[in-house]
Structure 1
Amino acid sequence: MPETTAPETTLRAATAVFAVALVVHGADHLRRGMDATSALVNALGTLQLLAALLVVVLVFRRHSAAPLAAVIVGFASAAGFFVVHLLPDWFGPLSDSFVDAPVSANVTGFSWFAALFEIAADLAVGLAGLRVLRERSAAVA
């Protein structure tokens, strides 16, 4: 097996945190009730979860596409969660805003923690993927 580089080790560590963030954020959605969000938000969240699980599998299987997948899914997820949870409810069915959430949405401090943890983990896995890609590019040059 080839020697593992520091950026690859960082990517695996960031991916482990990313996986924990997925569970924490998912637990908050289950706690709040799946009816607290629109069908569109639920569908997009399911697609994001499937893409995120693919990243986890690729990273831990040391697949050559893992860093690129981490970049794409990490940054897209961070942007998506930012729009859905942290912006005011301006996007209709694409919003599950915590900023002006109705009481029925059951948004708590844990909800805020889960969303911010998810966004931070998304950014971390995206940045770690970029670092591996940069290292590979420098090795080729």
Structure 2
Amino acid sequence: MAYPTAARPDLGTGPAYSQLRWATGLFAVALLIHGADHLRRGMDTISSTVMALGTVQSVLAVVTIVLVFTGHRWAAAAAIAVGFVSAAGFTLVHLFPDWFGPLSDSFINPPASAKVNGFSWFAAVFEIIADLLIGTAGLRARRAIA
């Protein structure tokens, strides 16, 4: 959607916003790779709670991606929130032992039926790194426009 220059709710065009767009692109790739791993493993390998939380995260991630690439004024705030909350969530769900019951899809000693392999580890760690990058880029962009 094209906005008149005076009405455009954007973040600007400086280096901080360029970093946010770059981090968001990487975040989108990580989201797709992580999703592909879940499809490869089969959706029956995770609890309905993890599936519901993952669906909410995916929707919020897509909204964040759209906000960033349309230059919306809420883009930095969304990147901060979605990035850091997602990083914490994926770390707890995948990289901790199965301490959280239905909130866990632990890669620490998973059963064979979970179909966790090296690609699963790569996808989860890549997602967490991308989450931290978009959150950090969101902080920088927010500071730059404040």
* TM beyond 0.5: yes
State the 1:134 CA deviation: 1.1
Aligned to 2:105: 96
State the 1:50 CA deviation: 0.2
Match of 1:29 among 23, 38, 50: 38
Amino acid at match of 1:129: G
Report % sequence identity.
60
Report 1:1-141 matches (<5 A). Answer: 4-137=13-146
Return the alpha-carbon distance in structure 1 between the equivalents of residues 119 and 72 of structure 2: 34
Return the alpha-carbon distance in structure 2 between the equivalents of residues 45 and 26 of structure 1: 9
Q: Which runs of 5+ in 2 are unaligned?
A: none
- The CA RMSD measured in Å over matched residues stands at 1.0
Return the alpha-carbon distance in structure 2 between the equivalents of residues 16 and 52 of structure 1: 11
CA deviations over 1:69-124 (Å, ceiling 9, x no partner): 00000000000000000000010000000012111100000000000000000000
Q: Which runs of 5+ in 1 are unaligned?
A: none
Higher helix share: 1
Return the alpha-carbon distance in structure 1 between the equivalents of residues 129 and 110 of structure 2: 22
CA deviations over 1:2-40 (Å, ceiling 9, x no partner): 861000000000000000000000000000000000000
Return the alpha-carbon distance in structure 2 between the equivalents of residues 76 and 67 of structure 1: 14
Return the alpha-carbon distance in structure 1 between the equivalents of residues 121 and 131 of structure 2: 15
Amino acid at match of 2:130: A
Stretches of 4+ moved more than 6 A in 1?
A: none
